[in-house]
């Protein structure tokens, strides 16, 4: 039995159950193989005075066995807005005593980090202290966002130099990382997984009926339904989709996700005259998300940057074609015409692509077939092959 300790600031908890679910699924898939014992350390940052959502986060800092993974949630001191420079050190201070204790009780074989900043530099210090090999995974926003901040980039580069392997979720992201000075000879591409029991094409007519009833809006027969799945933040491009909707007079839009941009997007929908056709549905449980994706005519996500978005893969698996920007691994995924359209980040281009899909909709089973290689067991097998090389050195 090989033993992994994984540092993951992105991880679901009782206060934020949809936060970092893709990280949890990845570690759970590795544990489900039966030859890895997986421990996740999910440090939760709270300020000295626990107000608002931070109070709920503090209450969620509990340990337990979750879907085959041992999860520990130590708290570290967070300085909201201004503490990002110090977070790797603060996380190390909170996590290292726990990691030392667990390692003494039953030694680990490998340390990994599930996000490059702040997780990567903290994991590097922990791996050095425990004298263990290290893997760090990049997912997209950690490189595109933190890579523009010199204090974070310098720490990420230093951690990458010390790591035994660096993982990227797409070839495009790997190229971006190498351009930023990460050691190219250490980078390995490791694609996301997919829950194939959940994400597959469902009856479209029944799903449209269910979605309209569940969220309480009119959906006339034949009216196009679009979905945008992602955090409500400027980088995801929901504003562009709302502006495109003004050029698609019969279409309805479901915005799936939460975020700080919600009020601005609501205001924009009002100014564009489409407020009655834009529905903010919040974060959805994964049992409802496939229903939304199966009901939609297209999933539209013109992101400014991505790695290889889980939402892309999940939509395609449900038979829902994509209208997305040329971000991250888009061209690695969109290899067949049935998968949809890659477009400029422009409302007119987005609307034109949607009209094209509506005029000539691809067969939904053919759309789903474009991602038949994705599954969590396949993801775990690839991860096992990479990590076993490090353990067996």
Q: Which pLDDT score is estimated for 209? A: 97
Question: pLDDT (tens digit, 9 = 90+) per residue, 45-73?
Answer: 999 888 888 899 999 999 999 999 999 99
Percent of the chain at pLDDT exceeding 70: 100
Which of these CATH numbers, 3.40.50.720, 3.40.190.10, 3.40.50.2000, 3.20.20.150, describes 204-369? 3.40.50.2000
Query: What burial class does residue 80 get, using C-beta atoms within 10 Å of its C-beta: 0-12 exposed, 13-18 middle, 19+ buried?
Result: exposed
Q: Which pLDDT score is estimated for 266? A: 98
CATH fold of 2-193+375-391, please? Rossmann fold (3.40.50)
Q: Which pLDDT score is estimated for 74? A: 98
Give the global pTM.
0.92
Closest CA to 393 of 161, 135, 187, 41: 135
> Is a pLDDT exceeding 80 seen at residue 375?
yes
Q: Which pLDDT score is estimated for 366? A: 98
User: Between β-strands 69-72 and 64-66, what pairing exists: parallel, antiparallel or unpaired?
Assistant: antiparallel
Whether 267 and 243 have beta carbons less than 8 Å apart is answered as: no
Question: pLDDT (tens digit, 9 = 90+) per residue, 333-355?
Answer: 999 999 999 999 999 999 999 99
Rounded distance between C-alpha atoms, residue 299 and residue 305, angstroms: 16
Instruction: Give the mean pLDDT of 370-384.
Output: 97
Q: Which pLDDT score is estimated for 259? A: 92
Instruction: Give the mean pLDDT of 136-150.
Output: 95
Give the rounded distance of the alpha carbon of 136 from its chain centre: 16
> Is a pLDDT exceeding 80 seen at residue 393?
no
Domain boundaries, the chain: 2-193+375-391, 204-369
Q: Which pLDDT score is estimated for 230? A: 94
Tracing tokens 């600031």 back to the chain, one arrives at 9
Rounded distance between C-alpha atoms, residue 269 and residue 282, angstroms: 16
Quote the mean pLDDT of the chain. Answer: 96
> Is a pLDDT exceeding 80 seen at residue 6?
yes
Q: Which pLDDT score is estimated for 59? A: 93
Rounded to 10°, the helix 119-130/150-162 angle is 30
Rounded distance between C-alpha atoms, residue 243 and residue 228, angstroms: 13
Instruction: Give the mean pLDDT of 295-314.
Output: 96
Question: pLDDT (tens digit, 9 = 90+) per residue, 218-274?
Answer: 999 999 999 999 999 999 999 999 999 999 999 999 999 999 999 999 999 999 999
Rounded to the nearest 5°, which phi and psi values hold at 67? 55, 45
Whether 166 and 172 have beta carbons less than 8 Å apart is answered as: no
Per-residue confidence band for 4, with pLDDT thresholds at 50, 70 and 90 = very high
Instruction: Give the mean pLDDT of 134-145.
Output: 95
Looking at residue 6, what DSSP letter applies? E
Question: pLDDT (tens digit, 9 = 90+) per residue, 161-205?
Answer: 999 999 999 999 999 999 999 999 999 999 999 999 999 999 999
Q: Is 74 helix (H, G, I), strand (E, B) or coil?
A: coil
Question: pLDDT (tens digit, 9 = 90+) per residue, 85-110?
Answer: 999 999 999 999 999 999 999 999 99
Rounded distance between C-alpha atoms, residue 296 and residue 375, angstroms: 22
Looking at residue 29, what DSSP letter applies? H
2, β-bridge pairs: 36
């Amino acid at each position: 039995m090989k033993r992994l300790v994984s540092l993951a600031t992105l991880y679901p908890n009782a206060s934020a159950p949809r936060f970092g679910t893709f990280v949890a699924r990845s570690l759970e898939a590795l544990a489900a193989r039966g030859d890895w014992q997986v421990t996740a350390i999910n440090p939760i940052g709270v300020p000295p005075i626990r107000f608002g959502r931070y109070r709920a986060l503090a209450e969620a800092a509990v340990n337990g066995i979750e879907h085959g993974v041992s999860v520990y949630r130590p708290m570290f001191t967070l300085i909201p807005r201004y503490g990002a420079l110090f977070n790797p050190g603060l996380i190390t201070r909170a996590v290292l005593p726990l990691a030392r204790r667990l390692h003494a009780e039953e030694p680990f074989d490998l340390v990994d980090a599930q996000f490059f900043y702040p997780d990567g530099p903290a994991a590097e210090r922990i791996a050095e202290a425990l004298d263990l090999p290290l893997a760090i995974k990049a997912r997209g926003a950690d490189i595109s966002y933190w890579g523009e901040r010199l204090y974070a980039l310098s720490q990420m580069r230093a951690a990458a130099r010390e790591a035994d392997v660096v993982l990227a979720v797409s070839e495009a992201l790997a190229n971006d990382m190498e351009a930023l000075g990460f050691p190219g000879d250490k980078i390995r591409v490791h694609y996301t997984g997919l829950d194939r029991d959940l994400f597959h094409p469902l009856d479209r007519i029944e799903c449209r009926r269910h979605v309209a009833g569940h969220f309480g809006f009119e959906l006339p027969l034949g009216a196009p339904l679009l979905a945008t799945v992602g955090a409500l933040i400027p980088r995801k491009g929901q504003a562009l989709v709302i502006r495109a909707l003004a050029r698609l007079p019969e279409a309805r839009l479901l915005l799936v996700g939460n975020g700080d941009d919600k009020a601005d997007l609501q205001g924009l929908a009002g100014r564009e005259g489409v407020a009655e056709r834009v529905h903010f549905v919040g974060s959805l449980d994964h049992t409802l998300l496939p229903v939304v994706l199966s009901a939609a005519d297209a999933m539209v996500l013109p992101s400014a940057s991505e790695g290889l978005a889980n939402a892309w893969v999940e939509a395609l698996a449900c038979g829902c074609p994509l209208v997305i920007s040329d971000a991250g691994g888009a061209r690695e995924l969109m290899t067949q015409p049935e998968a949809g359209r890659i477009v400029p980040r422009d409302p007119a281009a987005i609307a034109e692509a949607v009209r094209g899909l509506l005029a000539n909709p691809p067969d939904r089973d053919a759309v789903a077939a474009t991602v038949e290689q994705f599954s969590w067991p396949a993801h775990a097998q690839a991860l096992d092959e990479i990590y076993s090389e490090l353990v067996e050195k």
